[in-house]
Structure 1
Amino acid sequence: MSELREPDLPRTMKQRGGKALRTGWTTGTCAAAAAKAATVALVTREPQTRVEIALPGKDGDWRQRVAFPLERCEQIKPDVWQAVVVKDAGDDPDVTHGAHLTATVTWRDEPGLGLDGGEGVGVVTKPGLGLEIGGPAINPVPRAMIDRAVGEAIDLGGGRGVCVVISVPGGEVMARKTTNRRLGIIGGISILGTTGIVRPFSTASWRASVEQAVSVLAGQSRAEAAATIPPLVLCTGGRTEKGAMALLPGLPEVCFVEVGDFTGAALRKAVEHGVPEVAFVGMIGKLTKLAAGILMTHYTRSAVDTELLAEITGPATGDAELAERVRAANTARHAYEVWDAAGVLGVCGTAVCDQVADVLARFTEGRVTASVAMVDFTGRRLVAASDRWDAGRWGAQR
């Protein structure tokens, strides 16, 4: 049975002076801005001082646009231009705050975008990250942002394309303060981001917003004189929230709370307001931490335990060799992929969900019943669920 733990936030992550914390920009956003600026300069042969790009929206739209000043934009060789955007991480502590996201752009004969990493951008050496081994650690959403930003400057579908190399001077030193080496990302930082915006999810202000959302659910139910308060659906992020809404279309929007790292805070507030039932929807990484009894899952205060996943795999499958492969997995995602390849994702995922449901119930001393669902990395497909997950009762689709 997992010991329940809820580590405190790092001192630097707590709300400052009662003021709302400032949002910032991801490395992916800054890289996309630099790439567009360098491409515009390549096309026009004129240095740029400011650039505007689109951000990915929740529903696949790119309507939101943001502008960035350029630290530098210049021609460094014939038909080679380079642009630099300095990252502002806002008030979310980040080792890449102030990093110089640099894009070097040149023509290539074939159409389309050729994207690579240069100095200070890590190289992927292990599976489990959803990225090509040997390729740059530039995640899928930043890749899409760079592709779109460059496409706004030049038609990538016809004629010549461009080569873009993203680099981060000093990135290898920055990476020493991250978990990149343990994850098999060598030589620099990762280019990250799913929304383009760094929101202080891991701060006291975000915890307060989670607690407020739970209070709103309970308060609205009482105001409507509902016989019972509907289930509180906790989701780890934007993708899982969207997926949970699709899985549970019979529930009102107020039920869904993007909990981030603050599962413990949400559960305490649920108990306080008499919310009788919680449904938790997440991906393998956060669920593994919760299965280990960790109720505050920020990366600085907890790590994924593949040993736990191996201990689940053995009894669930009766396959000791498979359990050893899971134990040696690089990440929770890697373990997920091992399960999937072996055809046991459903049975092992269900065992994880059951263990998480037990942790959530124990944390509330049985005052809240819990059910848990695991979704895939798109957040859209239900992979496994605990035995209390009742699709029909909530009007869900499976």
Structure 2
Amino acid sequence: MDRIKISGGNELRGIIPISGAKNAALPLMIASLLTSDTLTLENVPHLADVEGLMRILGNHGVDIAVNGRRERQEDGYSRTIHFTCRTIADTTAPYELVSKMRASFWVIGPLLAREGRARVSLPGGCAIGTRPVDLFLEGLAALGAEIEIDGGYVNATAPKGGLIGNHYRFPKVSVGATHVMMMAATLANGTTVIENAAREPEVVDLANCLNAMGAKVSGAGTKTITVEGVTSLSGARHRVLPDRIETGTYAMAVAMTGGDVTLEGTDGALLENALDTLRQAGAEITETPSGLRVVRNGNGIQPVDVVTEPFPGFPTDLQAQFMALMTRSSGVSHITETIFENRFMHVQELARLGARISLSGQMARVEGVSRLKGAPVMATDLRASVSLVIAGLAAEGETVVNRVYHLDRGFERLEEKLTRCGAIVQRVSE
């Protein structure tokens, strides 16, 4: 099992290219099930989750062609992938595939819309909360689907004439459920109105792609999305938007270590709340023609209180990274997690590096310390793992991060990007 060794203390200086967003690429890939034509996606990151989903889509009959050559550019590697699903080969998504990645459950929407039936295993994924699928199933039921759960599988069947447009309000904001209902509604009979929809940029990106395929989706990015059903969708070419979580993560790493880094190929509008919070903590962030420039000012790291919220609030996917930053602040900060009930597993690992953090329910009190000291730590989930890397970059001595397969799920070429900016980071395979 791979580990990452970090020798802390170096400032970051240089250029970090921002990859395509994992959280956008996954639903875009799943949308290929909605058409018999080819969907071409540009700027697809090379990540374990992407590779896993390609295997799942192949099981359903999607032919996948990755460009035969990878072009070396100044901003790193880029991939264009072509997805073609002439016919659905299998409407069952088995446990052995779905259990490895929660987002693979989302195939239920396109399968149901195109084939009228789907049998999908209940999902697995990171242990950061229960994240039940009730919202997904209630949304599909509102479109006329009959839902039955049996033996760990969801069996869904559409009415004889196909799904039926309807007016539905989610009782709770859910990005995944919004993705699924929006995809399913594109081929439904009539108009679907989705209220209390997720507003994340990744939802807007999916809507833009669906519209390029011939769908009629409006209102994405607001609380109300309207989908006018069409009889079929065509192929399209679409570029995956930049990864806002990767952007925020590297910005926090610069704020933690000091230095001067340009984050290329990103868009500050995708995470304005997080960037404003970073500015309060002492980072200078300016837009450049190629992305964002991040510099830590000379006043050190200031304590800032944050509460995670659905977009446009502070992202839960940046909570662990921000906590790592606050461990070196000049005072006390409070971080409240409102999205997931079990997303503080990194606290004990940060404590191994010398952090002073106490928990009270869903709030963490972080008392900044003058120094962190390297130690062996264990990654517990995707975002928690990179928070340990951020802490290790500023810690004295050597930090060893174990279970880095979590990192490979969501951060493309992390060691290379950091090393190019002066960090001493090495992957060790056993």
TM-score, length of structure 2 as denominator length: 0.31
Larger Rg: 1
TM-score, length of structure 1 as denominator length: 0.33
